[in-house]
Amino acid sequence: MDGKRTSVGLDAHARSVVACGLDGVTGELSERRLTPDHAELLSWLRGLPGPVEVAYEAGPTGFGLARFLAEQNVVCRVAAPSRLQRPSGDRVKTDKRDARHLARLVHLDEIVSVTVPSVGQEAARDLVRAREDVRRDLLAARHRLSKLLLRQGIVYYGGKPWTANHDRWLQARRRLAVFDQPRLGLAFDIAYDTVLATLTRRDRLDAAIADRLAAALADKFTVLLYDRRGRGTRGPVDETHSVASDVEDLHAVLAHTGARAVLAHSYGGLVALQGASRLPIDRLAVYDAGVSIDGGFPSAYVEPFAAAADDFPLAMAILSKGLGTVGSFSLLPIPVQRAVAHLFAATAAGRVWRGMVPSAVVEAREVLAHDGPASAYASITADVLLATGGRSPAHFTRAAEALEAVLSRARRIVVPKANHNAINVASPSFVRHFAEFLGAA
């Protein structure tokens, strides 16, 4: 029984916790109905013969109790409800019986545990749940608005609904004489405003979910995010956008925050490496850095990509084909990729990418403009992690190898099974490499 003296089962609810402690030596049961207050529960547990091991079922009360007890050096296991053994014919469930049953299972070491997520991981789950709630809210809001119009005999026939064209059509319908009736006009305004507000909520959540890597690192580090020029809140790209301007921006962020560690991806890796020799950076991690060493970076796609900037599906197909960053999908013919990109354009990620195409054109040209020998980076004195994906295009690995040869404090790794976009998925096995490097003394 792993040295434990008392096995405790908790039947946890929102407003109460029924606890049962089983003394493994005397067989005595100690039972108590407690409030969900962690301090009260801990006080009761410390009054039991130790060592104590605790278990409760995974459920709507979450994992906060398990993390609290772990911080207090109390062994706590969160049981998988579907794996709890129950005697045949035992159909009577009460809080007290459930607590006793858990205590016996703990005593017999027959608890099948679930993994207790970190605070950051649980927050990410809640974020995804909120996104799903908003998706349903948006569906309902659009349904209410369309049915309001249908009751007035107004139907949209102009193609796919809920597009920019449909939105302009909706605004034109509001000016119809039928909506001069105050009550009906107000009903339309409320329904339409609800759709817009829900879209705003959805877009905020989509932006937050996209920052999975930041969320995964937030448990160990203070993570600072900023929009580069032409991205997010920075507005459209202009003629001043260049590697030099991005290095200036990075310098401003470091100076303002006091940060000394940088994690960069793709073109961001070029910016960080270009600035690392003169910026106050102690540790620099780059993943699939967009660096061209001695002509090693693909160049043939750049001008066709720029020419297609106004045709988003075609531009994305050319980018994918030219860089090879989407795995085997990048090998498909341009017309096939363009058709898929047309579907992608309707997604939240597609809308974000559409806004980034102008800056991506500038960045592609900047990569080529800064082509040169690896020795151009030899003056970097920071600790550098040169990471590439095991399934990323080979040109990223060749550039990392060349840089490793000239940087005095560089280490190169290949993340197994990771493609160029693995940093956006930010799986625990992926994040571990960067957390260990950035957290090293």
Residues linked to residue 412 through DSSP beta bridges, in sequence order = 386
For helices 182-210 and 164-174, angle between their N-to-C axes, nearest 10 degrees? 160
Length of the chain: 441
pTM of the model: 0.58
CATH code that applies to domain 6-107: 3.30.420
CA-based end-to-end distance of the chain:
39
Residues linked to residue 57 through DSSP beta bridges, in sequence order = 79
| Percent of the chain residues topping a pLDDT of 70 | 94
**The pLDDT of residue 396:** 96
**The pLDDT of residue 1:** 47
Question: How far, in Å, CA of 178 to CA of 194, rounded?
Answer: 21
**The pLDDT of residue 43:** 92
Q: Are strands 52-57 and 410-415 parallel, antiparallel or unpaired?
A: unpaired
**Amino acid letter, residue 74:** V
Residue of 206 and 362 predicted with greater confidence: 362
Is 136 exposed, middle or buried (CB count within 10 Å of its CB: 0-12, 13-18, 19+)? exposed
- At 355, the pLDDT band (50, 70, 90 cuts) reads confident
| Percent of the chain residues topping a pLDDT of 90 | 58
CB 138 within 8 A of CB 162: no
For residue range 123-173, what is the model confidence (pLDDT) as tens digits? 777 887 888 898 899 999 999 999 999 999 999 998 888 887 898 999 999
10 Å Cβ neighbour count for 47?
Answer: 12
Fold annotation for 213-439: Rossmann fold (3.40.50)
User: Is pLDDT of 235 > 60?
Assistant: no
Query: Domain segments of the chain: what residues?
Result: 6-107, 119-210, 213-439
CB 55 within 8 A of CB 135: no
* Mean per-residue pLDDT of the chain: 88
Segment 230-253 shows an average pLDDT of: 78
Which residues does 222 contact at the CB level (< 8 Å), separation at least 6? none
For residue range 76-115, what is the model confidence (pLDDT) as tens digits? 999 988 888 776 666 667 888 889 999 999 999 888 888 8
Residues linked to residue 410 through DSSP beta bridges, in sequence order = 384
Question: How far, in Å, CA of 315 to CA of 327, rounded?
Answer: 17
